[in-house]
């Protein structure tokens, strides 16, 4: 039996909007003509869906969220751009996701199974992975790249064009102006690396030997006296059979628009402090 779609009488659904089976749209929502809401999406109430925005199956959106607004970018000329959100995301009160810039990437993408707490923000042209958590008031600048399973604590902020590798952890109020390596833990204003996200690695079920290999690779990559590129080459030779270390090295070699978030001088070993 097909699941029925529910639309509250006070909601405005513009002609052309595509609604899947089982969609629920609560009071005073506004859905644009170009929007696509897949099966079982729920807009609880007072939600605004603008422009060419796609919400994947099972997303739940809370009051006052605004998704798909034009980018806050002077380079945008008013042309077509999009917002694409994956499946089963929970988008809490007052969250804002902006569409891409027509003179740039042209789209903002958010993966599946994310939790976006109240008043968090994803800016234009960003690419957010799967299983990402953005706590209250966390924010991304334009063109940010956020890997899978990243956790951004409350009030943390990521500068435009910065990459945050998968399984990284950003502490509360962290101001991140440089790329954060996969599994890294960045804390402070301006944020510095404080070792690896050991707690997160353990929770993910990573084997102890793999964690120890990553710890050693981390210390080698950020050892003083040589460039990151030279250190990465040495790590690659030291761990030829570790796919996890190879992933870390690839991220370091993939530097783009920003520098790296680094440990405090002399602290690369001392702050990676979980020996269990």
* Catalytic residue ranges: 124-125, 142
**84 backbone dihedrals φ, ψ, rounded to 5°:** -125, 120
249 alpha carbon, distance to own chain's centre: 21
Q: Is the peptide bond before 190 cis (omega within 30 degrees of 0)?
A: yes
245 Cβ partners below 8 Å, 6+ apart?
A: 213, 214, 217, 235, 236, 239
> What angle (nearest 5°) sits at the alpha carbon of residue 252, between those of residues 246 and 254?
100
Decide: helix, strand or coil at residue 66: strand
78 Cβ partners below 8 Å, 6+ apart?
A: 70, 102
Segments in 98-227 forming alpha helices (H): 198-203, 208-221
**61 backbone dihedrals φ, ψ, rounded to 5°:** -120, 130
Overall size of the chain counted in residues: 276
Q: Cα separation of 221 and 233, whole Å? A: 9
b (16+ CB within 10 A) / e for 44-72: bbbbbbbbbbbbbbbbbbbbbbbbbbbbe
Q: Cα separation of 205 and 4, whole Å? A: 40
Structure tokens at 262: 């680094």
Q: Cα separation of 170 and 246, whole Å? A: 23
């Amino acid at each position: 039996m097909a699941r029925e779609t529910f639309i509250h009488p006070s909601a405005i659904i513009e002609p052309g909007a595509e609604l899947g089976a089982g969609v629920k749209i609560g009071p005073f929502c506004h859905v644009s003509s170009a929007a696509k809401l897949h099966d079982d999406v729920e807009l609880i109430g007072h939600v605004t869906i603008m422009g060419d925005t796609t919400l994947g199956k099972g997303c739940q959106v809370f009051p006052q969220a605004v998704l798909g607004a034009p980018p806050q970018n002077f380079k945008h000329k008013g042309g077509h751009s999009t917002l694409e959100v994956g499946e089963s995301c929970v988008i809490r009160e007052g969250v804002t996701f902006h569409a891409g810039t027509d003179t740039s990437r042209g789209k903002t993408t958010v993966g599946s199974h994310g939790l976006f707490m109240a008043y968090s923000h994803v800016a234009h042209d960003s690419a957010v992975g799967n299983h990402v958590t953005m706590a209250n008031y966390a924010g991304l600048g334009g063109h940010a790249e956020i890997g899978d399973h990243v956790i951004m604590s409350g009030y943390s902020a990521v500068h435009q064009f910065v990459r945050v590798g998968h399984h990284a952890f950003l502490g509360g109020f962290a101001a991140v102006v440089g790329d954060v390596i996969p599994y890294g833990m960045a804390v402070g204003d301006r944020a510095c690396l404080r070792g690896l996200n050991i707690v997160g690695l353990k929770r993910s079920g990573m084997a102890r030997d793999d964690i120890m290999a990553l710890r050693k690779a981390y210390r080698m990559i950020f050892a003083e006296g040589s460039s990151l590129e030279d250190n990465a080459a040495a790590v690659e030779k030291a761990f030829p059979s570790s796919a996890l270390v190879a992933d870390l090295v690839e991220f370091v070699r993939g530097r783009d628009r920003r520098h790296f978030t680094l440990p405090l001088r002399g602290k690369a070993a001392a702050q990676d402090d979980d020996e269990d």
